[in-house]
Structure 1
């Protein structure tokens, strides 16, 4: 007796699923399209628009630039306007150097020096003992100095004596000697009257010691001090 084995029949839904799985496994994947090439970006250019007095320059790219004509300049490619960094000088290794901007040294201001006033000049005429009479040498000295005194702005006549005798007598004698010199100078140059003054003292301002005849003779005098204004006195 033959025994038959019966295979179970597939259900319709299960059979459809099996066929779908088999179809997916047998179908190859769809090819992937390569990426489209990137469109190049036109470089910015400096182009001329118009001509003559109405010409103007502006940045443009590609077809937006105006067409060149014989009256326009060729477009110029615009480069980066960023300034190049200055080259830093190479320093030696292990060197401790500080880079600084060198500034010019300050200039010290020197105040203008005020001009010094002209110095006084002095001439002395001498007298005999106890006398106010002008001798030949005294008159000659006055004639020599008179032209310069005519140009002086300030004149002082100082009568002096030695220390011999009373103080009151010497003061009177010193004044008489100064007056004698003044009269002689006014006779030689009357214009000095507006600039001259007299200072007479007997017991004062000795030129030398009165302990010797030569010192006492030098103290019997009239000093003529004067000053001439101007840079180049004659």
Structure 2
């Protein structure tokens, strides 16, 4: 190879190296164009009014995304049903009942049942018969110690109201007066209850029933320690 040919080869190699270096240093036209287009179409930043901070220090100001506060959903934490405490309404405390009363003493007895002596009268009569007087005499001792005596005068349903009321009172008074002859000191609680055309002991449809209604009932109560 001659010298001229070597020089030509050297020049060609130098040109090739120079061309390669120049192509690397220059930006690609297409890449520059893409950057230009993307810059021209960029979205401007968004701003709006938002609440900043919370509580007493809360205030409103203009903020630019993405620096604005983000809204979050407020949820209430609820435990599972199995873990939920069950609330029961407690009844009011019941005061303890009073202790049972001690058994009453033997001296305190239940109310005593009154005793009754019955005297039957003839029609329109308030006169005591010997049988009446004997009956009173047989109970005179007990009646002298009675706590209470009530003498009830009654009639049948024959006749008007006023005459029957008078005969009822006369019968009760006759028994009381004879009793006072037998027992001068009667109990303080001694009284008369006279009612005509009232409080029948039997039906007035028969003579036997009317006879039972023409009566005086002497009701008396004895003290606990005394019995007739």
Category of TM-score, reference length = shorter chain: 0.5 to 0.7
Alignment of 1:182-221 (within 5 A): 182-192=176-186, 194-221=188-215
- Across the aligned residues of Structure 1 and Structure 2, the Cα RMSD in angstroms comes to 1.7
Larger RCO (CA under 8 A, 6+ residues apart): 2
Unaligned runs of 5+ in 1: 1-107
What CA deviation, in whole Å up to 9, does each residue of 1:25-83 have, x standing for no partner? xxxxxxxxxxxxxxxxxxxxxxxxxxxxxxxxxxxxxxxxxxxxxxxxxxxxxxxxxxx
Larger Rg: 2
Measured in 2, the distance between the counterparts of 1:146 and 1:189 equals 6
Q: Is the 8 A contact 1:152 1:195 kept in 2?
A: no
Q: Give CA deviations for 1:86-111 in whole Å, capped at 9, x if unaligned.
A: xxxxxxxxxxxxxxxxxxxxxx9564
TM-score normalised according to structure 2 size: 0.53
**Cα distance 1:143–1:231, how it changes in 2: closer, same or farther (>3 A)?**
same
Moved over 3 A (4+): 108-111
Q: CA deviation at 1:144?
A: 1.1
How much does 1:217 deviate? 0.5
Normalised by the size of structure 1, how large is the TM-score?
A: 0.51
- Where is the helix percentage greater, Structure 1 or Structure 2? 2
- SS at structure 2 position matched to 1:176: helix
* Matched residue count: 127
2:103 to 90, 112, 134: 112
CA distance in 1, matches of 2:163, 2:102: 53
Q: Is 1:128–1:220's contact at 8 Å kept on the other side of the alignment? A: yes
Matches within 5 A, 1:72-87: none
Check conservation: 1:121, 1:225, Cα contact below 8 A. yes
- Are 2:215 and 1:224 equivalent residues in the alignment? no
